[in-house]
Every structure is written in structure tokens, then in C-alpha cells.
Amino acid sequence: MRLGTEGSYPHCISVWGDVPDLIRNLHASKAMYFGKLVKLRAPEMTDLEHVMKYWNTYQSRRFLGSAIPMSETTEKQWLERATTAQPWEQGSMVLVIEDKKSGEFLGTTSLFDISKPFRRAEFGVAIHNPEKHGKGYGTDATNVTLWIAFHVLGLRSVYLYVMAQNKRAIRSYEKAGFKHAGVFRKAMFSDGEYHDLAAMDILCEEFLEECPPGQLIAES
């Protein structure tokens, strides 16, 4: 979502006009948010086929805490919840990640355990097709999701947990502005052994310092 002249932050640009008006316009056009490489939209039940295509691959699931195969019925139930969830009622928001140019389904990004009292949420992102890993889609989707978290939902902080061995994901989160907050030792089991679980977070003021009100990620 980039409009206007470039700001100092490489992920954001300046916007002419009122931000609430801009947000209303975005929602009027299928409520989609745009990055440099991706666009985010609400999930639909018709996404089930795309979700199942790569979800049950070990490469896609080995770092996500559960490499157990998921049935289509289970994923359908998850999708039913995702399509109706409201951030301040169910405490979660799931968005579909699509390739900005081709419209190809890439995966999902989410904010969950959204806390009203503390104005914080846990973040998760998954690019399903292993062939799409390492191409910048995950980082771009993370930037756009953080924009929504801080510019739209008004959250105070966003945090995540990631296996310490998942160096590619950690580099992506660092690029998006997440900072290391701590480590849970030997907290996750994967590939036949226990691994440390890293905690990372980003504060609202840290994100707004680089992408202040009146700036977006990329244009449509």
C-alpha cells in the first residue's frame, strides 16, 4: 500500500489525505491490504482447496509445532472459524496472502490471542508452498500485518515465538522490526530433538517511528 512520496522507511511511503478515509476506501475494495510483493484479504471457504494443497508437507510444518497431517475436515472447521472471527470478539484475525501480481494463494498471516486489556497480540505467518520460501513473501506479509495491527487495530505490541533453529524465519522477523525478547530452552521438539524457542516482539512506537500515521506499505 504505497501512495505519494517515499518516506525514510523502506517499507512505507507517505500518504496524502486522511488515514481513516483511506482505510474505508480499502475496505470498500474487498478490504485488501497491499505490500510490495503480496496482497492480503479476508479468507473464504473457497480457499480450502488452496490450504490443503501444500499444508500437509513436512517442509511446511516442521517449524510450526505440529507436523501431524491435518484432514480436510479439520481444516474446513478451522477455515469456518477464520472466516467469521472478529478481532475484538473472538480475539483473532486471519488474512490470506496472495501474490500481488498473479493473485496466487501463498498462505496465511494471523493475529491471535488479541488482548483487550493489554492491547497486544501474537503473530503468525505461513507461506505454504516450500518453493515460495526465501523470496520475500513472508517478510512483506509480516510488514503489512504489522501495519494493520498498529494503524488499524491500535495494538500496543505484537509478539511471536519461533524455533531458534529456524534462522530464515528469524532473519525475516528481524527485517520487519521484531526484536529478541528471550528464549525458552529446549521447549520445542522437531527433527528428533528438542530445540530452544525464541520470543520476539515489536512495540507500536517502534513501528510508528519507521512507518508513522499517514504512511502505507505499498500501493495497490
Q: What is the pLDDT of residue 101?
A: 92
pLDDT mean over 92-100: 96
Q: Rounded to 5 degrees, what are φ and ψ at 128?
A: -70, -50
Specify the amino acid at residue 4: G
CATH code, residues 13-155+204-214: 3.40.630.30
Residues 6+ apart with CB under 8 A from 117: none
Cell of 126: 505461513
Looking at residue 12, what is its pLDDT? 59
Is residue 165 a contact partner of residue 59, using CB atoms and an 8 Å limit?
no
Listed range (7-11, 111-115, 171-175, 210-214) with the worst mean pLDDT: 7-11
Among the listed residues 154, 161, 143, 85, the one whose alpha carbon sits nearest the alpha carbon of residue 119: 154
Whether residue 188 contacts residue 163, with contact meaning beta carbons closer than 8 Å, is answered with yes
Phi and psi at 169, nearest 5°, equal: -65, -40
Residue 200 to residue 207: CA distance in whole angstroms:
14
Contacts of 33 (CB under 8 A, 6+ apart): 1, 26, 39, 40, 41, 95, 144, 147, 148, 217
Provide the residue ranges of all domains of the chain, joining segments of one domain with +: 13-155+204-214
- Provide, rounded to the nearest whole percent, the portion of the chain with pLDDT above 70: 85
B/e letters for 107-117, b = 16+ CB within 10 Å, e = fewer, are bbbbbeebeee
Under the banding of pLDDT at 50, 70 and 90, the label for residue 27 is: very low
Give the rounded percent of residues in the chain with a pLDDT score beyond 90.
Answer: 71
Q: Are 79 and 96 in contact (CB under 8 A)?
A: no
Per-residue pLDDT tens digits for 137-193? 999 999 999 999 999 999 999 999 999 999 999 999 999 999 999 999 999 988 889
Q: What is the CA radius of gyration of the chain?
A: 17
